[in-house]
Structure 1
Amino acid sequence: MIRAILLLLSIALPARAEEIVADLSQDRVSISTSFDGSEILIFGAIRRDAPRNFDTKMAILITVAGPREDVAVRRKDRVMGIWVNADSVEMEGVPSFYAVASSRPIAEALSPEEDLRWRITTRRALSAPGGARMARKDPDFLNALVRVNTDAGAYTTSEDAVDLREGTLFSTKIALPAALTEGNYTTRIYLTQDGRVTDSYATALYVQKVGLERWLYVLAHEQPLIYGCLSLFIAVAAGWGASAIFRYTRL
């Protein structure tokens, strides 16, 4: 009886004929005082247990998501000729960085139903369960958040940026801006057939401050009083020094 049930299950569940095998050029990024951005290479291959089906449209989609944080999105209105903050929305769990790259146009590589299920595109990732949460539903604030982070280089979408060779080998480069948040950056790779996700692979990249940047970061978060006094001392010393130099040059 048990053997019959196992046989039926093996027939009902098809074997995974294609599987993603991937890696990153580096699994750690160090942020120092001279850090002005970086670039990671994501590469891999599609391992097959059977010959490739050329009748389907295959694509690779890659996402890199940074640590989540809480942000306030504000809307400005013109009041008596002056632009002021009129309204704001608190958003929780917003990715500090989100990049999407694909081997073909996303509209061809991913169906809307699969995007809703896997939350791959930027807007779907922001509205994922357990992801970004708004104090009240208002698409204008979500659009503003995406627009601001896109202009800052924190959110990117690059279609046809994944090089897929002979339907087996793939690679792409993801640019990381200078203003990176410390923490884990989750990389996910999706294989799609006719717009449907057939396999996925996940790994992580760790970003960490080093040297003086690390010391200041730890001091600001663990000893805020000392950090504030030190900042005040540096500001007073810089002002006094600039004043002394100005008086000396006038003599």
Structure 2
Amino acid sequence: MRYVTPLREGGSLPAIVEADDEFLYVLKFRGAGQGVKALIAELIAGEIARTLGLRVPEIVFATLDSAFGRSEPDEEIQDLLRTSEGLNLGLHYLSGAITFDALINPVDARLASQIVWLDCFVTNVDRTPRNTNMLIWHKELWLIDHGASLYFHHSGQNWEEQARRPFGPIKDHVLLPRATELEAVDAEFRQILTPERIAAIVALIPDEWLADESFAESPSEQRQIYRQFLETRLATSELFVKEAQYARKALV
């Protein structure tokens, strides 16, 4: 209903908006950067994290009509809003949250291992000391910004091959030095992420996004690819767990 303010820290120019439920959300725009694929990654990775018991702000769908943000004077933002008409993605705004700092916000080994495992699984390249994409809100750790996950859907390469690859960028993960319980977490999370739960999460992707011109496949075919990618990655999780363990040993 109302454009409040842009968040200029990110290259995709998300914004704080007020919705018709009178709550504030951080809105991710389909017209920005990587388009709907970033929104799909945000949705899938965020809901997987929630399924695994990690804290993620509520994720909602948000529809922008042509009148939204007309009073915004910035031409770049006006262009972004025009190209984002239709269905977008919002995350509940955690008012008063502070950016996570590994030097002053301790994280126990189990939680660190859970987050490292998650980011290996969804191939999230964007949780480094420089940009942690974590917040402290009400003294608890919350995960945000998963749009850089599932980067296989940008590459155009064989998704089956990529599903079985270790995750080299984990060496730069901000929590890797504390992730000493990866094998235990792997066993636990493999039990939680059943094929039925993966299918239910993938089913949340709107047809409107999957019908985007950036996809060569039909919406049903693309959903099947996402589902099979995640199931294959889960079945071969020992590969990325070992990669993370090797990377951690090199650090400590």
**Do they fold alike, i.e. is TM over 0.5?**
no
Higher helix proportion, which one?
2
TM-score (structure 2 length as normaliser): 0.23
Higher strand proportion, which one?
1
Q: Whose radius of gyration is greater, 1 or 2? A: 1
